[in-house]
Structures are given as structure tokens and as C-alpha cells.
Amino acid sequence: MKAIRFKIRKAVIITLFTDIMQIAALIALLLYLFFSPKSFFSDSDVSEQIFIISITVLSFVAVFFSMRDIYHIIDVNLQNIMIKEALDSVENLYNSLRAQRHDFLNHLQVVYGLIEMDEYGEARNYINKVYNDILSAVC
């Protein structure tokens, strides 16, 4: 489980880093195009302008979807961690109930054996002892 969390964390960090680098490169390109001494928008033809603007918009859309996917991956990872913790709790509860059932069956066997041997007083004393032990453990 830890290896999976590490791989998810590594993938998220790499994706964030590449998205930040992509945004920085796009901003640098746009700043260069707008503030260069030879204005891109006045000296180039319309098809080049549309191409540059299209690439820029598509890149920003790709970064948006990438960030959305990162959010989804983190959310699913957190849900998986919570489900694992809940499953561990259920397994612990199941093991506890199994142990209690085992102890209860042992107590019943002792009482049954005492009754079979006509030791009713001993059976009553044993039941009282077990009952008091259970009460002291609960309270």
C-alpha cells in the first residue's frame, strides 16, 4: 500500500511540475509576442496569429484538465486510504468476535460437563464467576 501511495505522490508531483513548466513557457511566449520590438500581431499574417493563439488556448485547456485529473487522483487516493482503514477496523472487530465466541463455547463446555457429572453447585459457582468476570470487564 505504501508503494502505491509513493507512486501516486510521485506521479502527482511530476505532473504538477510539468504543468507549471508548461504555463511558464506559455506566459513567456505570450510576453515575448506582445512586448517584442517587432510586434508579432502587426507583422505576421492572420493564419500565424490564429495558430499561435490556438496552441496557447489548447495548452491552457490541457493544463486545466491535467489539474482536474490530479485533483481526482488525490481524492480517489484519500478514499482508498479511508476504505483501507475501515476494512482494518472491521477485520479487528471480526477477530475480536471470533475470540469471544471461542471463549463462550469453552465456558459452555465446562458448564455442560459439570451438569453431566451432576455437579450443579459447581456449575452455578462457575456461571457466577464467569458472569462476574464479564461484568467487571464491561464496567
For the chain, which residues make up each domain, given as ranges?
2-138
| Pair 41, 49: CB distance under 8 Å | yes
For the record, the C-alpha cell of 92 comes out as 479487528
Q: Could you tell me which residue, 67 or 44, shows the higher pLDDT?
A: 67
Only one residue has cell 464467569, namely: 130
Give tens-digit pLDDT for 105-138.
999 999 999 999 999 999 999 999 999 998 898 7
Q: Taking residues 90-104, what's their average pLDDT?
A: 96
**Closest CA relative to residue 72, chosen from 2, 8, 22:** 8
C-alpha count within 13 angstroms, C-beta hemisphere, residue 1: 9
pLDDT(48) > 70? yes
Contact 70, 86 (CB under 8 A): no
At 26 the pLDDT is 85
Q: Which three cell numbers stand for residue 63?
A: 493544463
pTM (global) more than 0.75: no
Distance CA 51, CA 41 (A): 12
